[in-house]
Chain A
């Protein structure tokens, strides 16, 4: 009963954050900030205009970056204020 609701709300969350700027943190502690292009059930992620942060700013990746899901600790939305 409640399990079905949780599945729907997860799908809703994923639908909502498509196209938004997100932060993806990996198990290794590295941070990726970019626009969420897509996401699948394994937490594989495709990001656009990605920036990689490790301690300080490491690299800038433009275009698409695909992150293998097993490395992902979390995905979070972020309000970009620059």
Chain B
């Protein structure tokens, strides 16, 4: 993941999962269903994207709508888990964090 090449190298086609393997033992960001985001160290994964994450911070984002004013209220809940097994079917996206700006 340290390569900063602008052009696509002319190598044989790899699978997206091969590139996930490059993130092993590194901190990653996982976006999941139900507005959940995980940041942790990727210890293991499989083709279903089941994952073992260590030192994980989970952020759950809920949007509430005020019945009177109809404004959207974003609420975040965080928790820290030392070691976590993630079932792959809830995973939407996996990315190395760092340059993530909101």
Binding site for B on A (CB under 8 A): 18-19, 26, 28, 32, 35, 37-40, 44-46, 50, 58-68, 70-71
Contact (Cβ within 8 A) B98 A63: yes
Interface of A is mostly: strand
Name the residue of chain B whose CB is nearest to the CB of A62: B99
Name the residue of chain A whose CB is nearest to the CB of B19: A46
Interface flags for B81-102 (1: CB within 8 Å of A; 0: not) read 0000000110111111011111
The number of residue pairs between A and B whose CB atoms lie closer than 8 Å in the complex comes to 73
Binding site for A on B (CB under 8 A): 1, 7-8, 13-20, 23, 33, 49, 88-89, 91-96, 98-102
A54 to chain B, nearest CB (A): 11
Contact (Cβ within 8 A) A70 B89: yes
Contact (Cβ within 8 A) A40 B16: yes
Apart from A38-B14, A38-B16, A66-B16, 18 more pairs, CB < 8 Å: A26-B92, A32-B93, A39-B16, A45-B16, A50-B95, A60-B99, A60-B100, A63-B96, A64-B95, A65-B94, A66-B17, A66-B19, A66-B95, A67-B93, A68-B49, A68-B88, A68-B92, A71-B92
- Cα A34 to Cα B19 with chains together (Å): 16
Contact (Cβ within 8 A) A44 B99: no
- Cα A60 to Cα B19 with chains together (Å): 19
- Cα A32 to Cα B7 with chains together (Å): 20
Name the residue of chain B whose CB is nearest to the CB of A44: B16
Contacts of B98 in A (CB 8 A): 62-63
